[in-house]
A and B are shown apart, each in its own frame.
Chain A
């Protein structure tokens, strides 16, 4: 097998507190192949955004990578000094944040922000960079880019702003884009447009995407593979179709059942009792065991490790020795 584009091995993100370290991301491992869209889904506090931030080196202190390794095209990047990381960020890994209003500087014109980003990552002159910026804007579907390039962010609507943010993320022609809830702040009709745009651009450029979201629907639309996170761990990771249609981990089963469907009749939603544990009180053994319907003795003491079940990797004792 060729080297994956991004490889995360046993990544641990900790927040040191007075009462000891809180483990927000607990020994997760996954790969993203070139050109692949990996969805990372989970509820608030599952650690999905922190995983993205850790990869790109934007963890807010006091959060820190306590152990584990992150490789980008075979090169280890989690221990790089800040200056080298800065040259990777934007150039080789692009980033799209949730709120397009806060990820653009309100005091600069769109064009200035794009030109700055382009010139940071290439040797283009300002005029050429501006040409390139107009190209990018038209590529992300902004009408009349030659005039809109001189507009300020507040003159754009939410969906148009998110398009600008996508243009910014793609400006350095990165091989990986980390998109953290890119459509959460948008209306459903605009969300559909942005997902379609993201899919098209990444296909055209061969860019891989790590798509972080809480919305299983967005994942089903856009991703090739999906990782379901729960309490800082990956419960299940596999091809989207298999995970959505035939989830294996009891948490994924519950999660899929709890989503009201637009196609089916009024049925009672599956209810997962309780809520995700706080970081201060992650239960022993499998972190899902207090809410799990299929729990047995082993779950309460020993933490399950991911094992291959069919096409997916599932961290659940139910599948212990089932297939190997």
Chain B
């Protein structure tokens, strides 16, 4: 896949974790090494200025992708290209730092992602100092004040400690910190799932405003389909480390193709109270250490046949969407 507007291109990304018992236990209990394939052969492209969302249930590997994309975890195999430059090929530290400055991350838990012993001023100024973006302390302080007002806080809040803020305000501080290095690309890992719904609305609106103002590109990770619907231009649905479907947000919600996507959409509580009947899907996400053979969704899929049980479906491209399902490929499912 080549795309001229691609800001981030992830290709054939895989990440395995060693979850074996310690060496001695393995010897005594005669066990082999165990691996967990958190991300399996994942490819997607994020275009400049768009919000690309990854949705999935727990254990689908979406947070692992986020960590790999920002460079907090090395991939086992595969490449991440930022504007065509492979991060793994950049050997000069100065150049790597230049790229790193442009990528920032917002984490899920605003209570864990701020240093409780630092004043907000120092927290937000950290990227500025780390990348040497301002000439002196006075300029840094001014810039922090600016950033705090941008996210809807008072510049004087810089003198407070994180514990003096509510969850929503803390997430605003996290956003201010992410913006401090003037990034173009922000990875948001469940940025609102620790927040109440009215506060979530504030943060989502803020993130949209900032995107318009600074031309940001988001990789938005969430388990909440209605939040994703609200934020994303394109959506990738993950199941057990694999992408099952990538499509324009509008298309995905109007005409979901993959049985798993259909199931996920159907499971969302119906706030419109149309009284639509839910299609019951049995079972839960299997243990990722020993995923089912073939299509990993087949034990829960009402349309599974023999081929689904043995052969891993390859992603096929269809009119700007990507789908990995034998049923769709064979035309059994429309």
Write the residues of chain A forming the contact surface with B, with a CB cutoff of 8 angstroms. Answer: 43-44, 157-160, 187-193, 195-196, 214-218, 220-221, 240-241, 244-245, 254-255, 257-263, 266, 268-273, 275-276
Quick one: which of B199, B280, B285 contacts A193, CB cutoff 8 A?
Answer: B280
Q: A43-B197, A188-B267, A257-B201 are in contact. List 17 more A-B contacts (CB 8 A).
A: A187-B57, A187-B285, A188-B223, A188-B264, A189-B57, A193-B282, A196-B278, A221-B270, A258-B198, A260-B201, A261-B230, A262-B253, A263-B272, A271-B201, A272-B198, A272-B201, A275-B199
Q: Is B204 an interface residue when CB atoms closer than 8 A count as contact?
A: yes
A188-B267, A275-B166 known; A244+B227 contact, CB < 8 A: no
Whether the pair A261, B272 counts as a contact (CB closer than 8 A) is yes
* CB pairs A–B below 8 angstroms (30 shown): A43-B198, A159-B284, A187-B57, A187-B58, A187-B223, A187-B284, A187-B285, A188-B57, A188-B267, A189-B263, A189-B267, A196-B278, A214-B196, A214-B197, A217-B271, A220-B270, A220-B273, A240-B273, A244-B273, A260-B229, A261-B230, A261-B271, A262-B253, A262-B268, A269-B204, A271-B198, A272-B198, A272-B202, A275-B169, A275-B198
Shortest 8 CB-CB contacts between residues of A and residues of B: A217-B269, A258-B201, A260-B230, A43-B196, A192-B267, A187-B57, A269-B201, A262-B226
Chain A proximity mask over B205-232: 1 for CB below 8 Å, otherwise 0: 1001000000000000001111101100
Contact residues in B for A189 (Cβ distance below 8 Å): 57, 263-264, 267, 281, 284
Contact residues in A for B166 (Cβ distance below 8 Å): 275
CB closest residue in chain B, given A190: B284
Q: Is B75 an interface residue when CB atoms closer than 8 A count as contact?
A: no
B 215-267 contacts with A by CB, 8 A: 223-227, 229-230, 253, 263-267
| Chain B nearest CB, measured from A251 CB (Å) | 9
Whether the pair A269, B205 counts as a contact (CB closer than 8 A) is yes
Contact residues in B for A218 (Cβ distance below 8 Å): 269
Contact residues in B for A255 (Cβ distance below 8 Å): 197-198
Q: Is B200 an interface residue when CB atoms closer than 8 A count as contact?
A: yes
Instruction: State the total of A-B contacts with C-beta under 8 angstroms.
Output: 117
Whether the pair A262, B265 counts as a contact (CB closer than 8 A) is yes
How far does the alpha carbon of A266 sit from the alpha carbon of B249 in the complex, in Å? 10
Write the residues of chain B forming the contact surface with A, with a CB cutoff of 8 angstroms. Answer: 57-58, 166, 168-169, 196-202, 204-205, 208, 223-227, 229-230, 253, 263-273, 278, 280-282, 284-285
How far does the alpha carbon of A157 sit from the alpha carbon of B286 in the complex, in Å? 9
| Chain B nearest CB, measured from A244 CB (Å) | 6
CB closest residue in chain B, given A266: B230
The listed residue with most A CB atoms (<10 A of its CB), out of B198, B201, B263, B268, is: B198
Contact residues in A for B200 (Cβ distance below 8 Å): 258
Contact residues in A for B280 (Cβ distance below 8 Å): 192-193, 196
Contact residues in A for B196 (Cβ distance below 8 Å): 43-44, 214, 276
How far does the alpha carbon of A196 sit from the alpha carbon of B282 in the complex, in Å? 12
Whether the pair B271, A244 counts as a contact (CB closer than 8 A) is yes
Contact residues in A for B205 (Cβ distance below 8 Å): 268-269, 271
Quick one: which of B202, B208, B270, B284 contacts A157, CB cutoff 8 A?
Answer: B284
| Chain A nearest CB, measured from B288 CB (Å) | 12
| Chain B nearest CB, measured from A186 CB (Å) | 9
Contact residues in B for A196 (Cβ distance below 8 Å): 278, 280
Whether the pair A260, B227 counts as a contact (CB closer than 8 A) is yes
Contact residues in A for B202 (Cβ distance below 8 Å): 271-273
| Chain B nearest CB, measured from A224 CB (Å) | 12
Contact residues in A for B208 (Cβ distance below 8 Å): 268
Contact residues in B for A275 (Cβ distance below 8 Å): 166, 168-169, 198-199
How far does the alpha carbon of A257 sit from the alpha carbon of B202 in the complex, in Å? 11
The listed residue with most B CB atoms (<10 A of its CB), out of A158, A260, A269, A275, is: A260
| Chain A nearest CB, measured from B114 CB (Å) | 17
Contact residues in B for A221 (Cβ distance below 8 Å): 269-270
Contact residues in B for A192 (Cβ distance below 8 Å): 266-267, 269, 278, 280-281
CB closest residue in chain B, given A191: B267
Contact residues in B for A220 (Cβ distance below 8 Å): 269-271, 273
How far does the alpha carbon of A187 sit from the alpha carbon of B263 in the complex, in Å? 12
CB closest residue in chain B, given A143: B282
| Chain B nearest CB, measured from A291 CB (Å) | 9
CB closest residue in chain A, given B266: A192
The listed residue with most B CB atoms (<10 A of its CB), out of A187, A190, A270, is: A187
CB closest residue in chain B, given A192: B267
How far does the alpha carbon of A266 sit from the alpha carbon of B205 in the complex, in Å? 11
CB closest residue in chain A, given B279: A192
| Chain B nearest CB, measured from A240 CB (Å) | 7
Whether the pair B284, A261 counts as a contact (CB closer than 8 A) is no
| Chain B nearest CB, measured from A272 CB (Å) | 5
A196-B278, A269-B204 known; A259+B273 contact, CB < 8 A: no
Contact residues in B for A214 (Cβ distance below 8 Å): 196-197
A192-B267, A275-B168 known; A260+B204 contact, CB < 8 A: yes
Contact residues in A for B269 (Cβ distance below 8 Å): 191-192, 195, 215, 217-218, 220-221
| Chain B nearest CB, measured from A142 CB (Å) | 12
CB closest residue in chain A, given B274: A263
How far does the alpha carbon of A193 sit from the alpha carbon of B279 in the complex, in Å? 10
A269-B205, A269-B230, A272-B201 known; A259+B271 contact, CB < 8 A: yes
A255-B197, A271-B205 known; A158+B284 contact, CB < 8 A: yes
How far does the alpha carbon of A244 sit from the alpha carbon of B272 in the complex, in Å? 8
Whether the pair B273, A217 counts as a contact (CB closer than 8 A) is no
| Chain B nearest CB, measured from A111 CB (Å) | 22
Quick one: which of A44, A193, A266, A270 contacts B201, CB cutoff 8 A?
Answer: A270
